[in-house]
Amino acid sequence: MMSFYYWFREGKTKDVGSISCEIRVDGEKSVPFSTKIKLNRKQWNPKEQCFQGKEAAKNQKLIDFHELRLTQIYNEINIEKPNEPIRPDEILLRHRVASGKERRVKKALTFIDVFKEFIHDQNQLVKAGKLKKQSVTGKESKFETIRTYLTKKSLEQIRIDEIDHVFMEDFKFYLNISKYEDSTIEKYLFIIKGVTKFAVSKGYTKDRKIETYKVDKAKEKDPISLSQLELDKIDNLNLSSTHRKTFDIYRFCAETSLSFTDYYTLCEEDIEIDLDGTIWIKLGRDKSDTRQRVPLNPKAMEIFKRYGSDVKTLPKMSNTNLNRYIKEVAKKAKINKYLTFHTSRKSFVDHSINELDLPESTIQAIVGWKDSRQLSRYARVKDSTIKKQFLKSS
């Protein structure tokens, strides 16, 4: 349902201002806007949300007309899109367009407002089954970091059409001195470009100031992974319950190439058994829009059976805790590598290239990539592999 929230906003003169409003629909709020009703602070009762004094009736009549018009727009949208959620900002936009104020609305939209709408639309795609929640969670986290930066710089009200090359370079500098990894900085800059592109597609701005902004590609570092010997070394340790669960999740993904999101959202529909009794994991991947297919090898089967041979009973843990505990496990095993949970997937690719000698096309099909260009980011061909394959063919 739709409701309205009003408050007194002080103007240039103390105790003299106007009434501002916020449209609320199912917990979501519109951007604040002025009703243009000017008055003295004493003429507004914030607790009762009503006018008082000699002009109370006149001002209330203006508010009633204002609410009637917005309610009509709400009903119009509800008839047009009965199965879609109604966004407060859309009601406000239609009202302003009808009042001949469309141009000012577009200019008034802040970068934060557009970013919020971008996240909202992404979450709608999650509800529609077009995206996985985990892929949006990362964008929500980046939004909070960007908002913190804007607050520090007193840029909360920066308009979407003011995002330019200077803004991008200043934000990049902030991330650098905050010691963010180059690969992370690259992702932040790309998401800002994505939000401005979204704003253009919505008609909120015609400015394409950062369309030509070039995001520096992060320098590739040698991929970090664990060999099968290192994996077995950890497996043979006497681990605590938490560390054992952490490593079982890590090892299962190192044997199947599953990312955190793939593992966390694994369900019964993703498991298939072929005529030979081989258990397969088959699923689509959001990032590449491709099919991922991997049969469970003996080690993956061992872990699968340990937890009842049911995806519902496989252990689950947050990505934050997995990243924290896998470092503790590596330290306990005296493995001097900076591990994150994602290195489990890199360990799979490393093993596939250098130990199993799998063709690139096979690795691509298992991991779920559109092409094999990502291989270099996940693993390097070792000297021992070159020697083994080259001398074997000589």
Spell out the long-range contacts of 56-64 with Cβ–Cβ below 8 A and sequence spacing 24 or more: 59/19, 62/35, 62/37, 63/6, 63/19, 63/35, 63/37
Task: Tell me the domain boundaries of the chain.
Answer: 2-107, 111-201, 228-393
**Average pLDDT for runs of 10 along the chain of length 394:** 90 88 90 90 91 90 91 89 84 78 55 93 85 80 93 91 92 92 90 93 85 85 87 95 96 93 89 91 67 90 93 91 95 93 91 84 80 68 70 61
CA distance 77 to 90: 9
We find that the CATH architecture of domain 228-393 is Orthogonal Bundle (1.10)
Looking at residue 107, its pLDDT comes to 47
Spell out the long-range contacts of 138-147 with Cβ–Cβ below 8 A and sequence spacing 24 or more: 139/191, 142/187, 142/188, 142/191, 143/115, 143/116, 143/119, 145/188, 146/115, 146/171, 146/188, 146/192, 147/112
Q: Looking at the DSSP assignment, which residues form a beta bridge with residue 3? A: 24
Give backbone dihedrals phi and psi of 380, rounded to 5 degrees, phi first: -115, 145
Looking at residue 109, its pLDDT comes to 84
Looking at residue 392, its pLDDT comes to 66
Looking at residue 105, its pLDDT comes to 44
Looking at residue 147, its pLDDT comes to 93
Looking at residue 379, its pLDDT comes to 66
Looking at residue 66, its pLDDT comes to 87
Q: Which residue has the tokens 């604040």?
A: 32
First to last CA, the chain: 76
